[in-house]
Amino acid sequence: MGNDQQAEDHILVSATDGVATITLNRPERRNAMSTPMIERLGEMLDEAEADPAVRVVVITGAGQAFCAGGDVQQFDADGGEGKGATEVDDALVADQLRHQELTVGRIHALRKPVIASLPGAAAGAGLGFALAADLRIGTPKTLMATAFTGIALSGDFGVAWLLDRLVGPAKARELLMLNPRVDGQTCLELGLLNQLVPEEDLAEATRALAQQLAAGPALALSYIKANLLEAPGQTLSESMRAEVPRHKQCGLTDDHVEAARAFVEKRPPVFAH
């Protein structure tokens, strides 16, 4: 089977009612990522952002895992991630950076809400995919692990940056250096999960969350995400200067007029699709 066909088989995409669902589909390897899968995932994220019919993106994993990250079996077959070399290859560094921007960078910066639905383990690069999403939903079987020290690596796919911002520097150090396996309940308590539901309810709860966002005001949600992404690098004054034009632009939309009217009429708003 060629790489293109493998990528299509290992990254499944479906769209319905404004929600694009991207499924990492390599359950026999706990959805570990190959290079063709990374390329395909990047393409699917670009297509979802460009498609006006898509209002929300869900990323999930087939089987009992979300994503185990890099393919450690392949690392072993190749003589390690360095492929037996004695010096870092600048070309491999450039490829890795591009792959990270295609996936974690794209998820994080997408102009539409992204939900990570975690049926099981998210580790290494897979943890990066999950943490880059806007919202995460899991079950008691969800497990998060940085995993890098377990294979004598320092970490990639933005995991350190994302953890530092989500759980703070002290907890990020603990998770990266000691590599504990963090269960679903603890993930919820740490803020790494937004919702914890019974295993059998995950698909339906994910669908309900996605539909809630898909039924919301698309421009306002996009601008909320932009405000949040920019805020860490801004002063309060800079943040306020950036948010006001967006706020005023939302005020010109039919969605805003409809929401104000619905508020007065004491009914739920119906936003444009």
118 to 48, 131, 177, 261: CA distances (angstroms): 20, 11, 23, 38
Strand 135-138, strand 195-196: pairing: parallel
Q: Average pLDDT for residues 56-77, to the nearest whole number?
A: 87
- Do 97 and 117 belong to one domain? yes
- Do 194 and 60 belong to one domain? yes
Q: Average pLDDT for residues 19-24, to the nearest whole number?
A: 98
Per-residue pLDDT tens for 153-187? Answer: 999 999 999 999 999 999 999 999 999 999 999 99
- Do 224 and 168 belong to one domain? no
Among 214, 229, 245, the domain-final residue is: 214
Cα–Cα distance measured from residue 261 to residue 273, given in angstroms and rounded to the nearest whole number: 18
Q: Tell me if residue 144 falls in helix, strand or coil.
A: strand
pLDDT in the model for residue 20: 98
Q: Average pLDDT for residues 80-86, to the nearest whole number?
A: 73
- Do 201 and 257 belong to one domain? no
- Do 60 and 163 belong to one domain? yes
Cα–Cα distance measured from residue 65 to residue 29, given in angstroms and rounded to the nearest whole number: 9
Whether 273 maps to a domain, the answer reads no
- Do 31 and 95 belong to one domain? yes
User: Longest Cα pair distance anywhere in the chain, in angstroms?
Assistant: 70
User: Counting beta carbons within 10 angstroms of the beta carbon of residue 236, is it exposed (0 to 12), middle (13 to 18) or buried (19 or more)?
Assistant: exposed
Q: Average pLDDT for residues 238-253, to the nearest whole number?
A: 97
Whether 241 maps to a domain, the answer reads yes
pLDDT in the model for residue 273: 63
Bridge partners (DSSP) listed for residue 195: 137
Q: Which two tokens stand for residue 225?
A: 């995400």
Q: How many CB atoms lie within 10 A of CB 225?
A: 18
pLDDT in the model for residue 68: 95
Bridge partners (DSSP) listed for residue 107: none
Give all strands (DSSP E) within 76-215, no chain letters.
Answer: 114-118, 121-123, 135-138, 143-145, 182-183, 195-196
- Do 50 and 71 belong to one domain? yes
Query: Which residue stretches of 26-147 are H helix?
Result: 35-50, 72-77, 90-100, 106-109, 125-132
Q: How confident is the model at residue 259 (pLDDT cuts 50, 70, 90)?
A: very high
Q: Average pLDDT for residues 75-95, to the nearest whole number?
A: 79
- Do 53 and 129 belong to one domain? yes
Q: How confident is the model at residue 96 (pLDDT cuts 50, 70, 90)?
A: very high
- More confidently predicted of 72 and 28: 28
Q: Average pLDDT for residues 55-75, to the nearest whole number?
A: 90
Among 214, 235, 250, the domain-final residue is: 214
Whether 145 maps to a domain, the answer reads yes
pLDDT in the model for residue 162: 98
Q: Average pLDDT for residues 64-85, to the nearest whole number?
A: 77
- Do 153 and 227 belong to one domain? no
Q: Average pLDDT for residues 104-123, to the nearest whole number?
A: 98
Count structural domains, the chain: 2
| Residue-averaged pLDDT of the chain | 94
- Do 42 and 79 belong to one domain? yes
- Phi/psi at 37 (5° precision): -65, -40
pLDDT in the model for residue 142: 98
Whether 140 maps to a domain, the answer reads yes
Whether 271 maps to a domain, the answer reads no
Whether 272 maps to a domain, the answer reads no
- Do 222 and 173 belong to one domain? no
CA torsion through residues 80, 86, 90, 91, sign: negative
**What is the value of pTM for the model shown?**
0.94
Q: Provide, rounded to the nearest whole percent, the portion of the chain with pLDDT above 90.
A: 88
Query: Which residue stretches of the chain are H helix?
Result: 3-10, 35-50, 72-77, 90-100, 106-109, 125-132, 159-167, 169-178, 184-190, 202-214, 218-230, 236-250, 254-265
Q: Average pLDDT for residues 218-236, to the nearest whole number?
A: 97
pLDDT in the model for residue 85: 76
CA torsion through residues 193, 194, 195, 199, sign: negative
Cα–Cα distance measured from residue 228 to residue 54, given in angstroms and rounded to the nearest whole number: 21
Whether 204 maps to a domain, the answer reads yes
- Do 250 and 165 belong to one domain? no
Do 62 and 14 touch, CB atoms closer than 8 A?
no
Q: Provide, rounded to the nearest whole percent, the portion of the chain with pLDDT above 70.
A: 96
Whether 77 shows a pLDDT value over 70: the answer reads no
Domain that holds residue 177: 3-214
Angle ∠(114,165,225) on CA atoms, nearest 5: 35
Per-residue pLDDT tens for 1-10? Answer: 556 777 789 9
**Domain holding 58: CATH number?**
3.90.226.10
